[in-house]
Amino acid sequence: MVCKVLLVGNGAREHSIAKKIVDNNGILYSYMSKENPGIARISKKFVLGNLNNFDKLKKFKKVDYAIIGPENPLANGIVNYLEDELKIPVCGPRKEVAKIETSKIFTRLLLDAYDISGNVPYVIGKTTKDLETAVSEFGMDFVIKPDGLSGGKGVKVSGDHFKKLTEAQIYVQELLKKDGEFLIEEKKKGKEFSLQVFTDGKNIIPMPLVRDYKRAYENEQGPNTGSMGSYSLPSHKLPFLNKAEYEKALNIMQCTIEALNHQNGIRYKGILYGQFMKTEDGIFLIEYNVRFGDPEAMNVLKLLDSDFNEVTQQTIDGNLRSVKFKDLATVCTYLVPKGYPTKPEKDKTITIEPSLTSDLYFASVYSNKKQIRTTTSRAIALVEEGESLEIARDKVYQNIDKIRGELFFRKDIGSLL
């Protein structure tokens, strides 16, 4: 669909959204905090600025719609600003309903208030005594979370981030000082999966399920990262989930959207991403995100067979109908700087052979005298599709050697199921 689209954000997720907008005849206008060379190259116009400085968005008055990549501007009300001040329709939730990601306490309370299944047992902490309550209920199997966004760094899991109660006490005190409250959840054990949906606030259309690999090294070893890669299957499901479990997760999302509308009188529109865990006791909601996942966006957008600009505008107009995805597998693998995430080496040159055939998305890199250089974050994502997972995986790993630099990647994306 020919239209002018404003995209906010500058990671690999946004690069893949940008490509889809342009492939579907959109004219791209971008607002980035740092120049992503891939997005810049295909934008008609781009502006650099702090993504939470909405004043700069005035430079994009004449677009048909906007889409927001990362959660931070959504938390700060970018949709309210674009809709109310600039009269730009947005595929994304207003601040009041974006709370489903930006306040973990709000989400747990909402699920309880509307009797939605999949809620993890939790304790809302207002004093250090509440930690004792949580320990009496969950033993040492608990997770401490700040209420708000913490860039993936605030969630501390027992056995993983802390071993002793004294360490938990110190963290809880820190959170009380900073926020005045915290959340403790029972630690669940199982396999996580990502379910993203398009929604216009009433209709929801699921995207293929994706499994994301968060640990830095093979076999899910090493520190947590922003993610090292992801896969999806031609069935759009995952090998460890049965039909009833999948439907349960989807139903939890449907009920949540209805509850949000009911409680706030505001239609949730855009993308909702549920991160779930399958455990021996069933399906649990770990958290919601009010945007595409990174890297999950790259898997599902590779498969999207409908016009992206039409689908996004249907979520805005409230007439979301059908969305088609190809019945193929996908694999997305991240190349990251040596030492990432603990001691990443930066400012190293990356070279890309012209014979590379995979889709390539820049995450956090910069250009210097026509060279691409690394930062301290993830550098490049490669994405492939195939009739089977093996084919998609082989294609990615055949192409990965065509990227040279001080980088590493996980070799088991799509083989460790």
CB of 92 to ligand AMP, least distance (A): 20
Tokens 């994405």 identify what position? 383
Looking at 187, 215, 326, 411, which residue binds ligand AMP (CB under 6 A)? 187
Closest Cα partner for 146 from 98, 182, 107, 198?
Answer: 182
Looking at 64, 147, 212, 307, which residue binds ligand GLY (CB under 6 A)? 212
Q: Which stretch binds ligand GLY (CB under 6 A): 52-60, 110-118, 290-298, 350-358?
A: 290-298
By CB under 6 A, how many residues form the interface with ligand GLY?
Answer: 6
Does 14 engage in binding with ligand GLY (CB under 6 A)?
A: no
Separation CA 374–CA 365 (nearest Å) = 5
195, 274 contact by CB (below 8 A): yes
Looking at 185, 200, 296, 385, which residue binds ligand GLY (CB under 6 A)? 296
211, 231 contact by CB (below 8 A): yes
Q: Which two tokens stand for residue 57?
A: 């968005």
By CB under 6 A, how many residues form the interface with ligand AMP?
Answer: 11
Does 227 engage in binding with ligand GLY (CB under 6 A)?
A: yes
CB of 72 to ligand GLY, least distance (A): 12
Does 364 engage in binding with ligand GLY (CB under 6 A)?
A: no
Q: Which entry of ligand AMP, ligand GLY, none binds 274, CB below 5 to 8 A by partner kind?
A: none
176, 127 contact by CB (below 8 A): yes
Indicate the residue type of 277.
Answer: M
Q: 87: helix, coil or strand?
A: coil
Does 40 engage in binding with ligand AMP (CB under 6 A)?
A: no
36, 375 contact by CB (below 8 A): no
Separation CA 211–CA 413 (nearest Å) = 9
Looking at 6, 18, 21, 155, which residue binds ligand AMP (CB under 6 A)? 155
Separation CA 305–CA 307 (nearest Å) = 7
Looking at the Cβ atoms of 162 and 292, the one nearer to ligand GLY is 292
Looking at 71, 101, 185, 294, which residue binds ligand AMP (CB under 6 A)? 185
Q: Which two tokens stand for residue 68?
A: 């927001």
Does 147 engage in binding with ligand AMP (CB under 6 A)?
A: no
Separation CA 207–CA 229 (nearest Å) = 17
145, 155 contact by CB (below 8 A): yes
The sheet with strand 349-352 has its strands ordered as 365-368, 371-374, 349-352, 403-404
Q: Which stretch binds ligand GLY (CB under 6 A): 88-96, 154-162, 286-294, 394-402?
A: 286-294
Q: Which entry of ligand GLY, ligand AMP, none binds 394, CB below 5 to 8 A by partner kind?
A: none
The sheet with strand 45-48 has its strands ordered as 45-48, 26-32, 3-8, 65-68, 90-91
405, 352 contact by CB (below 8 A): no
CB of 155 to ligand GLY, least distance (A): 11
Write the binding mask 267 to 306 for ligand AMP: x where contact by CB under 6 A, - elsewhere. Answer: --------x----------xx-------------------
CB of 225 to ligand GLY, least distance (A): 10
Looking at the Cβ atoms of 124 and 157, the one nearer to ligand AMP is 157
Looking at the Cβ atoms of 293 and 337, the one nearer to ligand GLY is 293
Looking at the Cβ atoms of 36 and 289, the one nearer to ligand GLY is 289
Q: Which entry of ligand AMP, ligand GLY, none binds 187, CB below 5 to 8 A by partner kind?
A: ligand AMP
Task: Return the exposure string of 113-149: e unless at least 16 CB atoms fall within 10 Å of the residue's CB, then b.
Answer: eeebebbbebbbbeeeebbeebbeebeebbbbbbbbb
Does 294 engage in binding with ligand GLY (CB under 6 A)?
A: yes
Residues that bind ligand GLY (CB under 6 A): 212, 227, 289, 293-294, 296
Residues that bind ligand AMP (CB under 6 A): 120, 143, 155, 157, 185, 187-188, 192, 275, 286-287
